Structure 1
Amino acid sequence: MSQGPQESFFAPVRGSLAAIVTLSLIGAASSVVPFIAIVELARTLLPAIDGGPVDAGRVWTIVIVAVVALFVSAASAFGAGAVGHFADGRLQLSLRQRIVRHLQRLPLGWFDQRSSGTVRKLVESDVTSLHQLVAHTIQDLLTAIAVPVIGLVYLFGTGGRFSSFRRSQQVAACGQPPFTRTDAGNGTKRTVPPYPTDRGWWEFSPGTWSFSAS
């Protein structure tokens, strides 16, 4: 059974497309790691505020992982882009060769009824328009989907079922209009919004900041 046009369209670059998908996912996942590392680093250093001990080994491990993830993310993004552009070149060459072979089998009357611009559009412009799809869109689309998904998985994985509720509280609080406090020392009015954290709320009271545990 002969293979249909749609099935064989990306056949010359099928392996390259798989490599683009793999590298794009690796790059997306590793690009989130430094942000997760910042959160984990803050958790590790948090006991130092109360004079508690800090696990220096864990701190260095988090820093090293974050730095390695940055290099992996950059290398994966570069690799996916390079593979995508090489695949685009091979696909365009293959399509042009197939179109030219097909044009060679057409009767001369077909060319008499069409201008040279129409033929040039078939061989050149229409094929060139595939560049954005192969070289850029696949990588950009996968990155745009994978990064927020990985971030949400981390939030729900670390915060449990109350993670979304806590985050929604913080987002809602940050969106509220700030309130005005008057400094008892000099009577100066200050406009300061409440600042939510995972452990409570920082608020400005007359003359000082105060923390309210939640």
Structure 2
Amino acid sequence: MAFEIHIPDGLVANFELLNKNIPDEKEQTKYYNNWMSRYSKIFKSCDENKLIEWTIRTRKSLKEIATSSTFFTEAQFAFQNGIYSAYYFLSYYSLFHAMLSTLYLDDKETVEKLININHSKVINCFSSNFAIGKKPIISFNAREHFETLKFLREYSSYSMPLNEFFMKNKDIINPQEFLEDDLMQCYQLTNFHSIMLKNSYENNKCNLVKTNQNNINYIYELFLKNK
């Protein structure tokens, strides 16, 4: 069994890395049921404002993936051309946005908190939600990798070129050794949670929402006024 069993007909997804992180069938089912229970509480009332909010949150999470992957692609270009200050900057933000994408699908995080979230909060929430326990859904050392990239970004922004000490220091991991795999785990996690949201919505048989002025006012207050 694998997480792909929960993919609705007509959709295609790959959760290879998540399956490796939680290979046990019972643990996979436990993870799925836990989040489906949480998402069901959102949709069981079929509240129109909530439906619109979570539609936007889902789209926002996927947009964060697009941002992250763009930064990663540009980071690789910078690395290949020896533009290391740009490489570390783009690498850091590619991981930052990948982690943030998962938080938009966390029912415990309010929109107000997410819009005004700081960098420390992102890594704290991501780690506590997905990267702790004996067999977490995220297997990489999230805090270590995040702090490594943050340090390299900050140092390279104020003191370039990097001293040779940092390049040979075994305590500082080369982002080339971990970043792509970290991002893929985050992308697969966000994708899986978006599928769970879709499944929960359909299980609760909510009707399609026709927007009205009340909905628009609610979304304005929620997403725009809080900025």
TM-score under structure 2 length normalisation: 0.27
Between Structure 1 and Structure 2, which shows a larger proportion of strand residues?
A: 1
Which has more radius of gyration? 1
